[in-house]
Copies of this chain bind each other. A is one copy, B any other.
Amino acid sequence: MGKKGQVEDMKGKPFTIVAVGGTFDKLHRGHKELLRTAFKVGRKVVIGLTSDEMVARSKGDSKIDPLPKRREDLERWIKEEGMDELAEYDVVVINDVYGTAIHDEELEALIVSEETYERAAMINKIRVSKGLKPLVIVVVPLVLAYDGRPISSTRIRRGEIDAEGRPP
């Protein structure tokens, strides 16, 4: 492909395959901002959804919805928002924070929040140590609730705010 062809190929979405990951419990505005960015930058989005086993291991919070409910809420929102018209997507269940990102050769970018940037930088170190190309990391700012503190599933579960960041 000549330079002209390469430039033509760059006129649409910047990345072919991108990944995003999380527990996506009580799907809130922060999650939605993260997902919207992933669907905007990638032609295909791989969504790593943490397994119930991983949730039990790492969060130990019995109020987190089980996988089928989290998956259903996630996929319903994707369809309601028309995100599925923007990019292809695939939900894969993951059992650790790295998911498929440390071995997927075709992956080009990771979409993360400010809170998980360091983890993404670690994923790149592991990729380079394995001879894989490091990923572009797209860092989405946290969305703040009415009180100026970030929206999080933990705060929603505690009843401090609703999924939009308003007083409950």
Query: Is A85 within 8 A of B7, CB to CB?
Result: yes
**In the complex, A85 Cα to B137 Cα: how many Å?**
25
Query: Is A3 within 8 A of B82, CB to CB?
Result: yes
Copies in the complex: 2
Query: Is A10 within 8 A of B37, CB to CB?
Result: no
**In the complex, A56 Cα to B134 Cα: how many Å?**
33
A138 adjacent to chain B (CB < 8 Å) = yes
Contacts of A3 in B (CB 8 A): 81-82
Contacts of A89 in B (CB 8 A): none
Contacts of A14 in B (CB 8 A): 13-14, 37, 40-41
Query: Is B10 within 8 A of A86, CB to CB?
Result: yes
**In the complex, A39 Cα to B4 Cα: how many Å?**
15
Query: Is B136 within 8 A of A138, CB to CB?
Result: yes
